[in-house]
Chain A
Amino acid sequence: MFKLLYSREFRQKAVPYLLIAPVLIYYALFWLYPVIQCFAGSFRDVNNKLTLYNYAFIFKDPTFYKALFNTAFIVVFSVTLEFLAAFGLALIINIKFKGSGIFLFIAMIPMALPAVAVGAIWSSGFATYGWLNSFLYYLGFIEKTAKIPFLAGGNVASMILIIIIDAWQVVPFMMIILLAGMQGLDEEAKEAGYIFGGTKFTVLRKITIPLLKPTITTALILRIISAIQIWLIIVMIYGFQRLPVLLEELVYYVDESHSMEFFRIGIAYSVIISIFVSIAAVIYLKVTGAFGKEAEETA
């Protein structure tokens, strides 16, 4: 027995597991356990009896489908818009013109603000008597009597507003990721592009963007996952259940409804959202995995 413990083979095999044991224990305790608890809890009613009621409630609720659609809408459009804006800004700052450092600094300010502050800034901004209308009036764009009711629009208009506000905060974050990627690129690879007949646009399309692919994927996935989780700004500007999205519904049921029954429904919501986020993550792994596969095929 002792012989076995001290054998070289045993040590070589066991040591790695011993080294990662603390991490595994940590995950089991603080991640796996609550996740399982939550999952199990979503199938139980107030009296702890097994039930599908929580899910049935959600799937019968028209608000859920609205929330699902709104979330998808926000994810697709906000991520696209934010990516394009961030990429453009990163390209500009990467030129290193005079004052690009200051520009970068200013652009980063919204990133540092907590979502609550962002919500406060813009809900007071978009209010009919808010600062945005005052500002527009001051500039002479609108009449005093013709204030724009920003917040009175329909579903899509509201979402566009949310997308703009979210972009305001998130574009700098995305830009920094892309900028870091750009600055890590081999300058000579681009220069070779110019030497061998490339215009600025060809070099961007055929060299810069392909070389940036890993950075772009990372930025997009991080954004997709966090776009699914937008809720606080929505609640601060519109309150609960006016512009339903998945996470806002979750918070509503768990936090606002103060009833055990709704709390269970909130837990079911959290399982559903986890599944969506996981799907996004799996797509991410698939996409990056595809890069790996491409490498293997050519080997």
Chain B
Amino acid sequence: MATLRLENLSKRFSKKIWGVRKIDLEVHDKEFIVLLGPSGCGKTTTLRMIAGLAEVTTGSVLIGDRDVTEAPPRKRDVSMVFQNYAVWPHMTVYDNIAFALRLKKADKKEIDKTVIEVAEMVKIPELLKRYPRQLSGGQQQRVALARALAVKPKIFLMDEPLSNLDAKLRVIMRTELKAIHQQTKATSVFVTHDQSEAMSMADRIVIMKDGEVVQIGTPDDVYFRSANVFVAGFIGTPPTNFFNMEVESKYGLKILKHPHFSLELDEQQGRILKNYDKRKLILGARPENIILTDKDKAIFSAKVLVTEPQGSHKIIAIKLDEQIVKIVAPHKQKAAPGELLHLSFQKESLHFFDHETNWRIEQNGA
């Protein structure tokens, strides 16, 4: 097992097109890292540079303490699960899994043992004699997984391995993959554009946008301490609600003004915003941090647009002028379209972002 380090890693496809730009990342031994970001943000490109399938423009890739920037894929001790499986159609499942071991000239018994072991790990021991075309997409994905596990790599790379599966299977595979990781403890880099997949699987998440890293942190970090408006909007379903606010001071307390409501902050929160007097900022409130309350305690009131029952809870969309605000309410909550709801914020859970830079306003003031 090993660590993986990316230093100032960049990929330029042409004069104007950068795949990724200046990525610095240290993946610890046994860690499960998820690269998360919208499509086209450079996740695959990053993974391909780690694997050695794409040339690095500048920067370096280190596995363990070895600089592998110039090494071909086979000399990197990595294995990879491709988005479209990429299992070899002309080989049986067994031969697919055994391919790398045979090239390493492992002996027959050893190969047999490993193939059966990983096939059991991904629950396909009965499919070993089949050809890929005789398998479903989900089964092919398991073959790809077994093939990648069989080589016992230092680094385990996965490029959206679950995105071609149906929703239900995807959730099952998440759990299985996580269990497999706990068993093998292989240092892993997992790529996805699905934030809930990232949240549920990652030790740490690397959030990317336009080829650059925006935030690296645990699922809690990126959720509760989102680095900027993009992250706060990307992580969580429904995403964070944003409000443009104006900061005012009154008797030493900070008050945030919105055309429809004003929000008085306590002393400690006010301190974070000490440099923002008379300036604009963006207030972020997650759906579960906007709560239903009585009329006299309400910070603002608005009419229900639609409700989206989710079983365990209910998402209520309300309309504040042109803006739609989504809140999460208990499943029993009654909210007919057009009904006036009285709402308040859980103040301790609010996020503040700079209006110009969109970055989070930190404790010490930005």
Interface positions of A (Cβ within 8 A of B): 186, 188-189, 191-199, 202, 206-207, 210-211, 213, 295, 298-299
Contact = CB atoms under 8 A, between A and B. Distances in A.
B168 interface: no
A202 B88 CA distance: 14
Residue from B79, B88, B89, B103 having most chain A Cβ neighbours under 10 A:
B88
B74 A197 contact: yes
B73 A194 contact: yes
Contacts of A197: 74, 99-100, 103-104, 151
Given A196-B79, A211-B90, A298-B130, A191 B53 contact: yes
A176 B311 CA distance: 59
A188 B84 CA distance: 8
A213 to B, nearest CB: 8
Residue from B82, B83, B104, B130 having most chain A Cβ neighbours under 10 A:
B82
Contacts of B52: 194
Contact of A194 (B72, B83, B84): B72
Given A188-B84, A189-B86, A210-B90, A195 B103 contact: no
B82 A191 contact: yes
Contacts of A210: 90
Interface in B23-81: 51-53, 72-74, 78-80
Contact of B74 (A199, A206, A207, A299): A199
Q: Which 5 A-B pairs have the closest CB atoms?
A: A188-B86, A196-B100, A197-B103, A192-B86, A194-B73
B82 A196 contact: no
B51 A299 contact: no
A186 B131 contact: no
B3 interface: no
Given A188-B82, A194-B52, A295-B133, 12 more contacts: A189-B88, A191-B73, A195-B73, A195-B78, A196-B151, A197-B104, A199-B74, A206-B99, A211-B88, A211-B89, A213-B90, A298-B131
14 contacts: A186-B84, A188-B86, A191-B53, A191-B73, A192-B82, A194-B74, A196-B151, A197-B151, A199-B74, A202-B103, A210-B90, A295-B131, A298-B92, A298-B131
Contacts of A191: 53, 73, 82, 86
B147 interface: yes
A189 B132 CA distance: 13
Nearest to A189: B86
Contacts of B175: none
A299 B134 contact: yes
Contact of A195 (B53, B84, B88): B53
Given A188-B84, A202-B103, A195 B90 contact: no
Nearest to B147: A196
Nearest to A207: B88
Contacts of B92: 298
